[in-house]
């Protein structure tokens, strides 16, 4: 009997930026702002990591692997990202206070390589943000989302005044809270997607502006009367295009990443089995059982399992060349909670 597949964590966050103190280019797990301050110190002007950690936990985040950068340069950011290589449950990534084209390019490449989701900072202006997004859009595979504009928050250094800061850590906290309360498939957007810790925005985003941004793959953050500061979009960077619509929405992409990583970890037993029909049959049953559990939990659309998901694994997915190279291929499709056809993807599991 094969072991059941267990869902992986989705909301453990890599939080990178500049801090007052602490180890450089090393990932440290913190579960509260108190723990953060104990290691990395309090707020300092021009260094947004403290505010990022504060907003992450304030909005519902629970686990963050924090990396203090040694340098803001591209090589420095790469070293900071590399510090997260040993974190095996990395679900979200944000670089507090670090924005612009070069940062977006480096971090989005890392997110794709890790199969994680990067919540990116907006640049200082709308045009600069759109320019940075356009530069990576063709390469994006649904691993990046950008939220505009920057937030205005109480200044922890000068009480009574406010300061502008990035939105990524607050949004990551909101996503983490939504995962816990509703599941990774749920949309963290709309009037209920309130961002705690923000008292204003760097610039206003109306209905027309939000629609324009959305068409360019950027999510608006709006100040709604009686609702406060809310996230007003759930598009990936690639979601502004007319092609590759499978990964248009943040929760759809994150659901697929969750399923893929859970299955990859849950089928390691196959490495020691023959790559033939009895093994493929066992894989089909194990994966279908996992997807069936997700269906019962409301992860997929569809009234019946047949309407909600499918699993293929056999000679129609795994070729003789795959077998010779020690690869078994599983094709999976699921109906996401949005008006769309099935989203399909393949897992090419390399046997040890």
Specify the CATH number for the domain of residue 325: 3.30.360.90
152-203: per-residue pLDDT in tens? 999 999 999 999 999 999 999 999 999 999 999 999 999 999 999 999 999 9
Q: Does residue 300 sit in the same domain as residue 203?
A: no
Is 2 a member of any domain?
A: no
* Residue 340: pLDDT band with limits 50, 70, 90: very low
Is 27 a member of any domain?
A: yes
Q: State which of 223, 250, 277 marks the end of a domain.
A: 250
Q: Does residue 217 sit in the same domain as residue 289?
A: no
Give pTM, 2 decimals.
Answer: 0.94
Q: Does residue 85 sit in the same domain as residue 152?
A: yes
Q: Does residue 276 sit in the same domain as residue 177?
A: no
40-99: per-residue pLDDT in tens? 999 999 899 999 999 999 999 999 999 999 999 999 999 999 999 999 999 999 999 999
Residue 69's CATH number: 3.40.50.11780
pLDDT at 140: 84
pLDDT at 241: 54
CA dihedral 132, 138, 142, 148 (to 10 degrees): 20
Radius of gyration of the chain (CA): 21
State mean pLDDT over 115-129: 94
pLDDT at 141: 84
User: How many domains is the chain partitioned into structurally?
Assistant: 2
Q: What is the DSSP string of 223-259?
A: EETTTEEEEE--B-GGGGSSS-GGG-BHHHHHHHHHH
CA triple 305-307-311, angle to 5 deg: 65
pLDDT at 240: 60
pLDDT at 350: 80
Q: Does residue 218 sit in the same domain as residue 277?
A: no
Q: Does residue 200 sit in the same domain as residue 331?
A: no
Whether pLDDT at 242 is above 70: no
State mean pLDDT over 271-284: 96
Residue 105's domain comprises 13-250
Higher pLDDT, 127 or 226: 127
Q: Does residue 75 sit in the same domain as residue 192?
A: yes
CA-closest candidate to residue 99, choices 67, 83, 77, 81: 77
In the chain, pLDDT over 90 holds for what percent of residues? Answer: 84
């Amino acid at each position: 009997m094969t072991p059941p597949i267990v869902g992986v964590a989705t909301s453990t966050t890599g939080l990178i930026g500049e801090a007052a103190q602490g180890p450089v280019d090393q990932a440290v797990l913190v579960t509260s702002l108190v723990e953060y301050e104990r290691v990395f110190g309090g707020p300092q002007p021009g260094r947004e990591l403290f505010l990022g950690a504060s907003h992450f936990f304030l909005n519902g985040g629970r686990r963050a692997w924090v990396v203090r950068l040694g340098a803001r340069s591209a090589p420095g950011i790469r070293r900071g990202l590399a510090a997260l290589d040993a974190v095996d449950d990395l679900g979200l990534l944000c670089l507090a206070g670090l924005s612009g084209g070069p940062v977006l390019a480096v971090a989005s490449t890392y997110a794709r390589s890790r199969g994680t989701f990067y919540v990116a900072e907006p640049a200082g202006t709308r045009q600069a943000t759109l320019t940075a997004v356009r530069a990576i859009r063709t390469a994006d595979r649904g691993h990046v989302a950008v939220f505009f504009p920057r937030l205005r928050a109480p200044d922890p250094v000068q009480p009574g005044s406010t300061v502008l800061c990035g939105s990524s850590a607050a949004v990551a906290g909101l996503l983490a809270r939504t995962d816990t309360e509703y599941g990774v498939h749920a949309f963290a957007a709309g009037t209920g997607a309130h961002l705690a810790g923000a008292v204003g925005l760097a610039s206003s985003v109306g209905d027309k502006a939000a629609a324009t941004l959305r068409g360019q793959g950027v999510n608006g953050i709006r100040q709604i009367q009686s609702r406060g500061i809310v996230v007003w979009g759930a598009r990936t960077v690639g979601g502004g295009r007319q092609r590759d619509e499978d990964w248009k929405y943040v929760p759809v992409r994150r659901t697929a990443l969750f399923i893929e990583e859970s299955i990859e970890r849950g089928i390691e037993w196959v490495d020691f089995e023959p790559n033939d029909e009895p093994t493929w049959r066992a894989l089909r049953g194990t994966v279908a059982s996992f997807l069936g559990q997700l269906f019962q939990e409301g992860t997929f659309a569809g009234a019946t399992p047949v309407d909600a998901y499918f699993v293929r694994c056999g000679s129609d997915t795994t070729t003789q060349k795959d077998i010779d190279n020690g690869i078994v291929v599983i094709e999976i499709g699921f109906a996401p909670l949005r008006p769309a056809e099935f989203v399909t993807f393949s897992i090419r599991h390399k046997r040890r």
